[in-house]
Structure 1
Amino acid sequence: MARSRVSSANPSTSDSLSNFDATTRRLLACGIAAGPLYLVVGFAQAFTRKGFDPAHNDLSVLANGALGWIQIANLIITGVLTLLCAAGLRRVLRGGTGQLWGPLLIGLFALGLIGAGVFVADPMNGFPLGTPAGHPTNPTLHGFLHFVTGGIGFSGFIVGALVISQRFFADGERFLGWFSVVTGVLFLFAFVGIATGSTRALIVLGFTAAVVLAWIWLAVVSVRFRKPERVSPDT
């Protein structure tokens, strides 16, 4: 991968690379902002909206009720930010392992978030207030599509983290490589657990912890690739 080394004897080339670097950095900054936004907005609702039990409801259910629009917007906005981050990753992962599939899979994760916001999860397990315990007896089409789009997006994240781990290993960055592997594997187990439909505290809290880890991973990766030596001048 070519590095951003510019000769001062060529101002036009320097300006071009500077603009490219700034654009790339702004795109990757979206990956740093997405997680904190999602988690702050999500947890603020989780601990203030009546009837929501963080130990037995995942954050997606917050898209229901009179204030459901907040979580819908949260999913869509963070999805857009993640999609912009994927575009930034496409700019820096040029040549070598993961240059195609890494950004595409993170982009798929982003589309899954947007889809999960568009197709609202069904009310369940006591939320909103008055909803019977457990899962809905008559799932709706939008509830089914929420599960499908979310599942596709999470699968994209899991495989994307593993693909990008190979890029880190190839670059000799073993800590980030193993961090990516562990994040992808733990998220896989957590997703399988929540996909069973269980509302046990261990399963739901484990999934929530995996979501937090996933956002931390995206932020760490975005910070790492924002470093100047990671940016290629090729367009």
Structure 2
Amino acid sequence: MDDQPAQNGFDRAAAVTRSLLGYGVLAGAVYLVVGVTLGLTRDGFDFSQHALSLLMLGDFGWIQRVNIIVVGLMVIAAAIGFARALAGSAVASRAAGLVGGYGGCLIASGVFPPDPTAGFPEGASSDGTVSGVLHLAFGAIGFVALAVAAVVVGGWCARRGETRWTRYSYTSAVVIVVGFVAGAALATETAGVVALWVAVVAGWAWLAALSVHLYRIIPHPDAHRRQST
């Protein structure tokens, strides 16, 4: 970043970085609000039996597809923010690449819808398709990428002496992986759906929390406000 704007006037680079990190806070909220709203309005959808990705199927399924793809783009924007905020550290490219990989997998999951499961949509064939397999594959890769990102950033926090953030990142990584594995293994049971929900919420919560943490590390772009904090 240019040091001169950081000392006098407005630091445009800091403003851009903070804006990009803001997408990491918004992404999970957008995904959950749109998904839950659709789930409440779709006949036959049961939150205890069906994953939100199933809303890509049937009537108005395009809305959930757009939701997932747009959120994936938001995660990629946040990944760029991670790279800028962590610039100069050994983990910058790895953390950004992993978070960006998660965003890319979300987009791919939005392109390839899942197969009908547990009677949703009603009357749809539950025969396996290539699209369904790809949806699961990209979902698995995405969850692993996000979990590894949490481990990488957790290590960065540890080197900075940020014990609470280190523990939170490592714990989130475990919850994301265990929740996804349990959800995949028990996909047709309530316990599996609950486990998947836990993994999803834990992942979005970690991304939002770390985006806020990095946001606060970046100096305020306005020189006057920067000097007063």
- Structure with bigger helix share is 2
Deviates more, 1:30-39 or 1:97-106: 97-106
Contact 2:150 / 2:173 at 8 angstroms: preserved in 1?
A: yes
Contact 1:125 / 1:131 at 8 angstroms: preserved in 2?
A: no
Partner of 2:170: 181
- Give the number of aligned pairs: 220
Q: Separation in 2 of the partners of 1:201 and 1:57? A: 8
Give the TM-score normalised by the residue count of structure 1: 0.87
Structure 1: where are the runs of 5+ without partners?
none
Structure 2 residue 77 is matched with structure 1 residue 87: no
Structure 2 residue 123 is matched with structure 1 residue 130: yes
Contact 1:61 / 1:127 at 8 angstroms: preserved in 2?
A: yes
Structure 2: where are the runs of 5+ without partners?
221-229
Q: Separation in 1 of the partners of 2:2 and 2:160? A: 19
SS in 1 for 2:188: coil
Contact 1:97 / 1:166 at 8 angstroms: preserved in 2?
A: no
The amino acid that maps onto 2:133 is: F
The amino acid that maps onto 1:172 is: G
User: Which of 43, 47, 51 is the aligned partner of 1:54?
Assistant: 47
The amino acid that maps onto 2:139 is: G
Q: Separation in 2 of the partners of 1:164 and 1:228? A: 14
SS in 1 for 2:96: helix
User: Which of 147, 152, 157 is the aligned partner of 1:163?
Assistant: 152
User: Which of 191, 196, 200 is the aligned partner of 1:211?
Assistant: 200
Deviation at 1:96, TM superposition (A): 3.1
Give the TM-score normalised by the residue count of structure 2: 0.89
Contact 1:31 / 1:218 at 8 angstroms: preserved in 2?
A: yes
Deviation at 1:14, TM superposition (A): 4.0
Q: Separation in 2 of the partners of 1:228 and 1:154? A: 26
Deviation at 1:79, TM superposition (A): 0.3
Q: Separation in 2 of the partners of 1:225 and 1:12? A: 17
The amino acid that maps onto 1:38 is: Y
Contact 1:83 / 1:107 at 8 angstroms: preserved in 2?
A: yes
Deviation at 1:227, TM superposition (A): 1.7
